[in-house]
Amino acid sequence: MEKAYVPRAGDNLTVVDYVRRYGPKHDVNGPRQRPLAECQVCKTPMHTINENVPARVEVWAHNPSTKWCPLKDAAKVPYELLSPTTPDLAAGKQLRTNFLLHWELHWSLVRGLVPRCDILQFVEFVKQADKQGFWNHRNLKEWNLPYIFLSLYEFPPPRQVKAKLGQPTWIRCYFDARIRGYRDLWIEADGAWRFFVAHYHAPARNASPGPKHLISDDPVTVDPDFLAKPASPPHPFASGTMRKEFPGEVP
């Protein structure tokens, strides 16, 4: 990735900025003691690649001892809307009803984090959750749902030149490394999880980006109380699409 978090600096730094600030790996006395750089998502140390190697791109990489991190292993262990093993049908039915009644609040949060998100992806999320009975997971909270939606999908930059100005990067969203599956939201993290919006260079030929394309992983403030706050008005196309897809279920 292009940047890593340096706690001493309190900021994400490129390798070039890190070396400029803290010096090269070695000085006249041997190895230099430089401050730790870490991945914000998994909280494990990172090291430089191609530091001061001419004509090579200088980047950060996870140390070999890193067990698992979604930034490097998400393709191996993707997030999935799995069916519950012990469903709570009554709670699930109410959760789905509430989600559609409050869809504008959920959509407002989504668009605040990924402004170019497509309402058709949002519709697909509801239908996938219906198919898997995902709503019926015990302890699943309504405020979790927009974050789950964002982590489930890819958000490539638009193809139109003007639209691409609003989102020039490929976006993926991740939970912190404790969350390998959605049940971990209320099991491993006990509700106190972190969330990140990661930006990638879009590969050529419509390929999917990998760790080498990662620009930055930006932490966002998780808001458990967004359902009690005003929503940004949705575009009429989004409202019309939701009413068409879920007649009688959305306001």
Q: Look-up: residue for tokens 């600096």?
A: 9
Question: How does the average pLDDT of the chain come out, rounded?
Answer: 91
Over residues 128-152, mean pLDDT: 97
Whole-structure pTM value = 0.88
Give yes or no for residue 163 having a pLDDT over 70.
no
Q: What confidence category does residue 207 fall into, taking pLDDT thresholds of 50, 70 and 90?
A: confident
pLDDT band, residue 184 (cuts 50/70/90): very high
Note the pLDDT of residue 244. Answer: 98
Checking 223-227 for CB contacts under 8 A at 24+ apart, the result is 223/109, 223/143, 224/141, 224/143, 224/191, 225/143, 226/105, 226/108, 226/109, 226/143, 226/146, 227/102, 227/105, 227/142, 227/143
Angle at 180 between CA 179 and CA 183, to 5 degrees: 70
What are the backbone dihedrals phi and psi of residue 130, each rounded to the nearest 5 degrees, phi first? -60, -45
192-217: average pLDDT: 88
Question: CA-CA distance, 214 to 6, in Å (whole number)?
Answer: 17
- Cβ neighbours for 100, distance < 8 A, ≥ 6 positions apart: 126, 242, 246, 249, 250
